[in-house]
Amino acid sequence: MAKSIRKKVFKAMGVEGHGKLAGQSRRDVQRHFGPYEGRKYPSRMSSDASRVPIEFGARQWGHIDFMRKALKSPALAREIARDPLARIEFERALFDALQERALKAYAGEWNSLSPKAISTLIGRAKKSASKPTPQIANEHNGAMIAREAMAKLRKGKSVTIVDLGTGGGGTIMPAINSIPTEFRKNVRVVLVDVMSKGLKSTKQKLRRKGLNGKDQVITIRENLARLMQNDKIAQLFGTADIVTGGASLHHVAAIEPTFKGVKRLLKKGGSFIFWDWGHAAWRAPRLVIAPEGAKVDRFGRFYERGARTRHAEKRTAFVSRGRIAGVQGKSPTELKTVRDMFSTWISLLHFPKQRQAEFLKWFDRKAARGEPIEFGEYLKKLEGKRLEQGMPQAEIQYWEGHRPPQLYHEAMARVGLIGGKERPFTIYPTANSLLYQMKVTKS
C-alpha cells in the first residue's frame, strides 16, 4: 500500500521516483503550483509554490486538498479518508514530493541565471557605497563564530567550521577574517553549496587568507536538504565545532532533514550559528490582518479574541499585529514583517520608489479595513509599468521558504537538536525587521 500511494503521489506531483521533476507537469498541477506562469513581468516572477515552507504550503496553500483530487483515484481517496495509516503515508509521500519539487524549482531558477546575476550571488558584483544589510549580518555572524573558535584555538585545539550555502563566501569570510592569522593554520573549513562556481571562488579566497594546508578547505556540492544522503558529508558527522549559514536555510521547503544533518555534523558542545530572513508573508496566497489584541495561531489558521475564535478561509491566513515570538530583546510585529517583505519585493523587482509608495498606501488601506491582501494579484497591476531608470527585469523569484524564528525552534526540537522546552538564543541584530540571528549549542 505504502509504495503504491507514494508512486501515485510522486507521479501526480510531476516528480519521478528519484525526485526528478518532469519536463512538463500535468496542466492542473502546473496551474496550482505556478498560477502566474505565462503572465507578463513581474507576475511571472512568483516561482513554484512548492518553495514556500511546507508548514504553510501543505494546508494554507491547499497542497494537501489539491493533491487528494489530483490523484484522480476515488478508491485511493476513500482509502486515505478511511484508513489512518493510509492517510499518514499519503501525507508523508506528499511532503517528500513537495520537497523534491521545491529542490528542482530552485535548481531551475539557479540554472537560468545570467552570468551577471551569478557574479552578484558569488560576490563579484560592483560594490555599492553603503554597506548592505546582509553584509552587516554576516559580519555580526562572523564575530560570533570567531569568538567560539578562538576559545578552542587559544588552547591549541583545532577547529572545524561547516558553512551551509556558501555562495560567494559572504558568511564564512568575515568569520575567518576575525580569526588572527597565526591561528588559521588550525582551522578547517567545509563548504557546502549547489553552485560549483561559488565553491571554487570561496576556496580561492580562503587560500589567500592562509588556509593552505592539505584538506584544510573541503568543498562539497550538495543541496542543504540532502545533508543526510551525501557520503562525503556523512564522513564528517561528529567532527564540526561550528556549523553556520547566512540566508541559506530558507532555500529548503522542509527544514527538518537539514536540521538532522546539522545535529549529526556537530560535536557534543558544538555550536550552530546562523542568520536568515523570516516573516509571515508566505503563510498563504491571501492574508488578512487580525484585529488589535487578537491571538493568532503560529500558522495563521485561526485567531482568538476574547471568547471568539475565527478560522481562516481556504488559501487564506491571518497575520498578527503582535510581536514575533521566541526572541530575546525587541522584535518586530508580524504585520511589519509582511509589510516590509512585500514592499522590499517591489524594489527588488526594480520598480521605482513611486511604485513602492503606491503599494504601501494600498497595503495600509487593506490592513486597516481587514480586507484580504493578495500580493500576487497586486503585481498584475504592475505588468507593463516602467522599471527604475537603467534597471533590467529582475531574475530572482519571490516565493521562498522564509520562516519566523518560532518555526525553526520547533523543527529543531522535533529532531532533537535542542530540548523540547529549550529556546535558542535569537535576536534581530540589525534594524531590518526581516533578518534574525540564532545560536544553538548541541548538548
Q: What is the mean pLDDT of residues 390-407?
A: 93
pLDDT surpassing 70 at residue 253: yes
User: pLDDT of 206-247, one tens digit each?
Assistant: 999 999 988 899 999 999 999 999 999 999 999 999 999 999
Cα–Cα distance between 95 and 255 in angstroms, integer? 11
pLDDT digit string (tens) for 18-58?
544 444 457 888 899 999 999 999 999 999 999 999 999 99
Residue 2 has pLDDT above 70, yes or no: no
The dihedral through the CA atoms of 196, 201, 206, 211 has a sign that is: positive
Domains and CATH numbers, the chain: 2-112 (no CATH), 133-278+416-441 (3.40.50.150), 286-382 (no CATH)
- Per-residue pLDDT tens digits for 303-351: 999 999 999 999 999 999 999 999 999 999 999 999 999 999 999 999 9
Is the pLDDT reported for residue 439 higher than 90?
yes
Which residues lie closer than 8 Å to 185 by C-beta, 6 or more apart? 210, 213
| 0.85 surpassed by pTM | yes
Asked whether the predicted pLDDT for residue 67 surpasses 90, the reply is no
pLDDT, averaged across the chain: 91
- The CA-atom distances, in angstroms, between 320 and each of 36, 201, 290 are 27, 42, 5
pLDDT for 19 equals 45
Q: What is the DSSP letter of 122?
A: T
Q: For position 131, what pLDDT does the model report?
A: 78
Mean pLDDT of 284-309: 96
For residues 166-179, average pLDDT: 95
